[in-house]
Structure 1
Amino acid sequence: MSSEQSMDSEHTSEPATPHHAGFKYAVGRMIATPLARAIYRPRIEGRENVPMTGAVILASNHLSFIDSMAIPVAAPRPVHFLAKSSYFEGTGFKGAVSREFFTSVGAIPVRRGAGQAALDALDQQRQLLEEGLAVALYPEGTRSTDGRLYRGRTGVAFLALQTGAPVVPVGLIGTDRVMPVGAKMPSLSERISVRFGKPLDLSKHGAANSGRARRLATDEIMAAIHALSEQELAGVYNEPPAATPIDKIRQALPHERR
């Protein structure tokens, strides 16, 4: 099957939008998806690998702000992702536009951070999966600014092992050229590729409460993403520079990145 085969030629019977998605998302998907396809003409491979019903995690590399738009546009079913709560809390006309846009593309607000904030985000994602929805997550944790693929954090594997949801690896190519870090508007002269791999059943690695199982499952996810994205491997975690001596010690010590 050609990588540029029309997306409308397969999975033509898209499932109904889940109740959780709401009217705004249904309308937004109906308008934004064909518009984005017409403008960017994305090359899409492996849509048949995405289960059309039930909980599923789309685990992707992360190169650009528009990744969270590219995946829902390319996927054959509604996909949800977590977005910074600040996108939903602005005031005035600009705040209203931001709020309506992110709601319409399936974003769900979350307060990002470490500790309890990170646990709350995992819990929100677990609830979405328990509703039988598809969620998009980035095991690297944050965008790659140099184009390399960084080590995966174990949160995605934890959710998969905890909920039993299959993981579909996703390789995004070219989104960093369409909208590089720092750019205010996407380029219209570049094309992107979205590759969906075969679903991964990670249950063979063990239970979610096993650190070894989470690490092995994460490594399997990242190997599948790497095969699709063909990025250079960084071999380290994508972490911001340590701001304090305590942060330097924390990053140097062996601990599980979630």
Structure 2
Amino acid sequence: MRLRLPEERPTEPPTGYKIAHPVLSQDGARAAFTGVSLGGALPYGVVADAACAYGLRHRPPHRRCDCGFHCVHERTAAEALLCTAEHRAAVLLQVTVLGAYIRFERGFRYARQRVRTATVGACACGRPAAALADSGWGLPGWRALRPSCAGCVRARPSVSPTAFARLAGDGLRVVALAGASDGPGASGATGAGGAGEALGVPELVAEAALLQARLDWFQTRLARLGEPGPGGPARG
């Protein structure tokens, strides 16, 4: 006797939450995400189809496999994962579950998804993030990014939340959490429009802070080049 899972036919696609690492292509022309566990070696775009991480030819999500995208039902459950040391640099994603899915007690395993919103946390120093900067690791052809404030970016490869949303495309919305001084729950949202399109004060402030931080870093480097060495004239 073959057991069949109960079928659901929702009027609207379910919504779920997950965490992921934002990544930037080597040439800086594409933005995507990569998972934090199974399938973490396979970057995916805003709209993506799942593939079996074990290389098997069945369609995800297969009942006898762990393949497919994964998400949880509750936002708070996904946010709790960001407390672990290895996931501090990840971002929170709100996704729409598309295609076939298997419902579990805490979430879904499913075939296709659309990332609606990416919420970026604070920099490791505790200040609000003004950019997504090179985190020091990556995958072949992809640099992993992490939230970074204007002062910590320095000369690392980075993109603003606005630029990341634009490069990812497909209507992705990026939300950068504001600092504690801005009040609880404050945030700045950026869309996927072109440069200078539909930018509000929070986005423009973040862009200006990022540019100023880079300018300060280059000025410091230039000043050091002009300092006289031990027992020698100044270097021009």
Using the size of structure 2 for normalisation, the TM-score is 0.33
The structure in which a higher percent of residues are helix is: 1
The structure in which a higher percent of residues are strand is: 2
Using the size of structure 1 for normalisation, the TM-score is 0.31
Q: Is the radius of gyration larger for structure 1 or structure 2? A: 2
